[in-house]
Every structure is written in C-alpha cells, then in structure tokens.
Amino acid sequence: MSGLLPLLTARHLVPALAGHEAETVAGELAACCGVSVYPRSITAAEGRVYFLGHKGAEKTLFILSRDEAAEFEGATRTCAHGILRACPRNHGNAAALRRALPHTGPVPLGLRRSIGMGDRLGIATPGHVRAVRGTGVAPILAQQSIREMTRTQRTPDQVMDDATWGVFEEGWREGFGSDADHLKTTEDIDRTFAAGFCLFTIDPGEHVDNAAGTDAMGTLRSKLATTPWGALETTEADSRKAFSGPFHLAPGTDLTFSEEEYLRAVCKYGRAVAHTARLYRHIVSISGGKAFELEMSVDETDSPTTPHEHFYVAHELRRLGVKVVSLAPRFIGDFEKGIDYKGDLKAFEEAFALHVKIARFLGPYKMSIHSGSDKFSIYPIAARHARELIHVKTAGTSYLEATRAIAEVAPALFREILAFAFARYDEDKKSYHVSAELARVPRPESLADGELGRILDVNDGRQLLHVTFGSVLTTRDASGRYLFRDRFYEALTSNEDTHYEIVARHLRRHIDPIAKGK
C-alpha cells in the first residue's frame, strides 16, 4: 500500500515521519509534483498532506488533499492521489499555514530554559532548528529588533514568516518563541504584535539615568525629589518603607539597602520602571486576552546593574503588576559583539549568582544574557547557577557563520565583502560595543581561498564582519542594484546544507552548556 494513503485519510495530526518512511513518502510526493521534497516537512492532518518542495533555490508549499485547500493562494491540478495545490511562500500562505498547523507559529515559552537565535538573513532557521533539536532547550526563532529590521530592510511580518517556513521545512513541532527585541515605543509594539510576536523585550535605556551610578549624595537627593512618583503609583515615604529590608533571598544571603544604595537605585532606574509599566499596559490593552510575555532589558546602559538596582527594578515591576518572564541586567565585564566575555570570571560568577537569587526571590523569572553570542567562558557558570532560569540571546553570530559558509562556497565573493567591510568599519562600528583593530585583520589578498575562514576565528575579524552586516546587505551600486545582497543569498541558497550545518555546529556550542545546567 502507498505510504500516502494512510496520511490522506488521517483525521488528526499524524506523528512526524522519520527515516526510511519519510524518504519513501517524499519520493512519492516528488513524483506527484515534479520537484524535490524536504522529507522532514511532510505533515499530515485533517485529510491533507502538507509539504515543502524545491526546484533549485525556488521553494513552494504543496498541499495534497481531497479538497482544494481554498484558503491557500495557489494553483491546483489533479493527480493520482487527489488534488494538488502549489502555493507560493508569501505572507498570506504563511499565515494560513500557521492557522492550519499551529506548531508553525510561535507560542509563549514560559520558564523553559531558552536561547534566542536571531535570523538577520531570514534563511537560517533550519540551521537553528538543527542546533537545538534533541537538547531540551527551547528556541526563539523569530527574533529581531526594529533597529535590525531597519538595517536589513525587513518587516515584522517577514521575520515571522521566515521563521514559519524554516520550522515547516525542518518539521519542528516542539514549540518555538518569538521575540520583538529592544522595543522602545508603542508604535513598534503595535507593529510586532500585529505580526504575531508573543514575547516583547522592552528597552527603557533612554530613561535610565546613568550618572546616578556615580553622582554625589547631594545630587542624588536633588534627583530623588524629581522622581515621577505619580507614574510609579507610590510616594517617597512608601517607597522608602518598601525597601527598608532586610530581604532574606536565600539561606545565608540577605540584602539590605543603605541610604546610598536606595538613592542610586531609584534615581537610576525609577523612570525606566515607569516607562516599562506604561508599555506593558499598552500591550495588555491591545492583546484582547491573547497570551504574551515580557522581558525588560537594561543591558545597553553605561554601567553595570548592581544587585540592589536589580532588586529595585524587579520589586517595583512586580508591585506595579508587570509580570516579566525574563530580565536582562547590564552584567559586569564586557559583552562585546561576536566574541567571548572579557572580564574577571570569578567576579562575574559571584555577581551572577546573586542576581539569580534575586530572580528566584522576586519571580521566578529568567536571567537573560544579551549580546550572548560566543560568550563561551560564561555559559557553564550561568547554567550552573540559573539552571532552568536562563535565556541567552544571540543574533549576529548566525550572520557571521553565514559569511563563513560564503568563504567556503564562494571565496571570490567573500573577498569582495571583506574588502568592503574594511572600508565601512569606522562608520558602522559607531553604534556597537566592539574593540576590533583593522591592523590585526589579514587583508583578503594575503590569504589563499582555503584560509579565508580563519578570519572568522579571530576576534578582530569577527567584529569587522559583524558590525558591517547592514551595509553589506543593503548597499547598492550606481545603477541601483544591490552590491552584494543578491549574490550573498544565491551562494547560500545554492549550498543550503553547507550553510545550515555551519550555523548549527556553531550554535550547538552555545546550546550544549545551557542544556547541561542542573
């Protein structure tokens, strides 16, 4: 009996096909539609078989059924097994697929240990799924900030749809999250909510008073008098009483606020708390009861978040009814883009352990590590203390590993990109925390083709390519054509397994230590 017939008569979601069975059915479907089929994409439910096929780099959603699947846009024809609809991978069909197969859309992840894997190119999700499969770590696969979307000329809908297609291609059914990252305005919240995001990372950095970390006491007292107590829904007297302590975080660990610690916390973060609460309530007002999650992030501020400041922020958010699933302080040490942690690991561990105790005491919520790409020295430390209450956020590292794939499959193009990056670095680095020196990066003409990937193994090379990604993807020549973008995508899509495996191998180095935290 054909392997297709049981699938076409199934009334519920059929367990994922595996191994020989998947390959056999893929062969039958390929004969039916005339294109190669991704075996893991084959999904049977409600009398339909959904699958993704490709001819060259062109990918198409196919639906084989007894009906016409009219809610999907596409052309139909009959075949031996029923009606076959070929559907372009557009926004309408991605939305229809999420309705038909809910596992292709995001869900809140709660307190599962997790990793965010931003996909700036929109084609890395299959590599991300391969990296996380079998680890028990929950993936956030649609993750991008408005700032990054602007640089890559993408929209929230495109970010969401690209994740959906990648999840479908790889047959991932274990759930994934979506993170509208570093949101600052209600307008940006509205755009990402409409696209289906369900985790909203609020960035109130513009409302943080960095000077309060070093101000003299007299200055702090003057600033305290201007605190927006109304927006915080409290008074100075009640606030002081709330932090009189001591707070017994854990056996043998108490936290008590001195006058100075109280003043610095309120003056530095009071307005940021009020702004976060305002945006949280906006999400509630537009959610219509739909489940969502919130992260507060102050990782891009000038000075580290002390344990007392962390306690103040979390305490006040809870008092204001703002429930956070994760919180991203500015940790001690340097979290530069694309390279390992710089700092005293012992000091980091002592501070991180206390931050985790606060998260358990006032939550629980996850400790979120931003600029988390390639911070290999701290993952075991963070996982050991946080255990399940950990979230690591990465993005740029997947782009960097895509350039490694370019170096392997299209070395001439990589040489062009590298030379262009040298010219763009001084301008593009202005909005990034990096320390790369161009003099320490080999010039492209000095390397043989087989040596090009070495540039991705040194800090300066990684940061050079990291901060110039927006220029590489969006710069056009005098005739208006993209300088690199089209050739970049063509090289990767023509060699997609190489791209996926390089990305998966690198991200697995991030995921394995997180998974091992007990």
**Per the residue annotation, which of 161, 162, 169, 295 is the catalytic one?**
295
Rounded to whole angstroms, the Cα distance separating 69 from 83 reads: 9
Does 302 have pLDDT greater than 90?
no
Q: How confident is the model at residue 195 (pLDDT cuts 50, 70, 90)?
A: very high
Give the model's pLDDT for residue 415: 97
Give the model's pLDDT for residue 57: 87
* Cα Rg, the chain, nearest whole Å: 25
Write the DSSP assignment of 317-336 as a string of letters. HHHTT---SEEE---SSB--
Does 236 have pLDDT greater than 70?
yes
**Per the residue annotation, which of 119, 181, 309, 316 is the catalytic one?**
181
In this structure, what DSSP letter does residue 298 have? -
Does 32 have pLDDT greater than 70?
yes
In this structure, what DSSP letter does residue 482 have? B
- Active site (annotated) includes residue 295: yes
Does 211 have pLDDT greater than 50?
yes
pLDDT in tens, 130-178: 999 999 999 999 999 999 999 889 999 999 999 999 999 999 999 999 9
b/e map of 255-277 (b: 16 or more CB within 10 Å)?
bebeeebbbbbbbbbbbbbbbbb
Domain boundaries, the chain: 4-88, 409-503
Strand, coil or helix: 120: coil
Sequence-ordered strand ranges (E) for 111-198:
114-117, 138-145, 177-183
Tracing tokens 């054509």 back to the chain, one arrives at 481
- Active site (annotated) includes residue 181: yes
Compute the mean pLDDT over every residue in the chain, rounded to the nearest whole number.
Answer: 96
Q: How many CB atoms lie within 10 A of CB 219?
A: 14
Query: What amino acid occupies position 485?
Result: R
